[in-house]
Amino acid sequence: MKEFKEYLDVAMKFHGHRCPAMPMGLRAGLKAMEVLGVERAKDKELFVLSETGKGHAAGCFLDGIMTATGCTYGKSNVQKLYYNKLAFTLIDQKTGRSVRVSVKPDFFEKALNSPFVQRRKEGVPPQEIPPEITDPLVDKILTVPVEEFLEIGEIKEVPVEKKAGIFEAKRCESCGELTFVNKLRLTTNGKLICIPCSGYGE
C-alpha cells in the first residue's frame, strides 16, 4: 500500500490535477505489470501501445499508465495509436509476452455521465472543479477492485524488434544545430541538413 501511495503521489504531481482517469490508468498499468510479472521499466524493458488519442474526455488515462510502467516518450517506449479508446497493450521487450488491458464499457459509460465530466463539458478546467465532486470519484477508482473496471486480456506472444540507440550527431549545415544523424537529410548539393531546414516532413 505504501508503494502504491508513492506511485500515486508522483502521478498526481506529474499529471497536474486530480481527476478519475489518471488513477484509472495508474491502476491499469500496475495490473498489466502484475499480470506479466514484470517490474517498472528503468530503460526500454517494457513498451506501451496506447489506444488513447487526443481531444477526448479521458486522455489523462495515459499519464497514469506512463507513471506506473516507466514507459515514456523520452525513452521512446510508448506509442499512441489514436483510437480514442481507454485501452493499451503492455509488452515485455525481453520475452515478447504482452497483455491488453481496457476499461470495461459499462464502467466507462457511467464515468462519462459523472458530475465531473458534466462540468468538463461545460468548459470548467479540471483543477477548478470542486473537491466534493472530484474526490469521491477519485476515491472510488483507488478502492474499487480492478476486476470491476478493467478487462484483462490473455497473455500473447508478439514479435519484438530491438533497435540500437543513435549516438552519433552532426551539425546541420544550414542552422548549425546538432542533430542525430538518422534525421539529417542530404541535399542535392551534398549538404547534410536537419528536417526543419530541409523542408521535408519526415
Q: Check residue 150 and give its pLDDT.
A: 98
Secondary structure of residue 141 in the 3-state scheme: helix
Does 169-198 match 2-157 at the fold level?
no
Q: Are 86 and 108 in contact (CB under 8 A)?
A: yes
Q: Check residue 2 and give its pLDDT.
A: 62
Which CATH number fits the domain 2-157, given the four candidates 3.40.50.620, 3.30.1330.20, 3.10.105.10, 3.40.50.1860? Answer: 3.30.1330.20
pLDDT tens string 127-140: 999 999 999 999 99
Secondary structure of residue 103 in the 3-state scheme: strand
User: Is 3.30.60 the CATH classification of the domain at 169-198?
Assistant: yes
Pick left, alpha or beta for residue 65 (phi over 0 → left; psi -120 to 50 → alpha; otherwise beta): alpha
pTM: predicted TM-score of the whole model, two decimal places: 0.89
Q: Check residue 58 and give its pLDDT.
A: 81
Give, as one character, the DSSP assignment of residue 177. Answer: -
> Could you tell me the residue ranges of all domains in the chain?
2-157, 169-198
* Residues of the chain scoring pLDDT < 70: 1-2
Q: Check residue 164 and give its pLDDT.
A: 77
Backbone angles phi, psi at 152, to 5 degrees: -105, 120
Cα gap 134→145, rounded to integer Å: 19
- The string of DSSP codes covering 51-70 is ---SSSTTTTHHHHHHHHH-
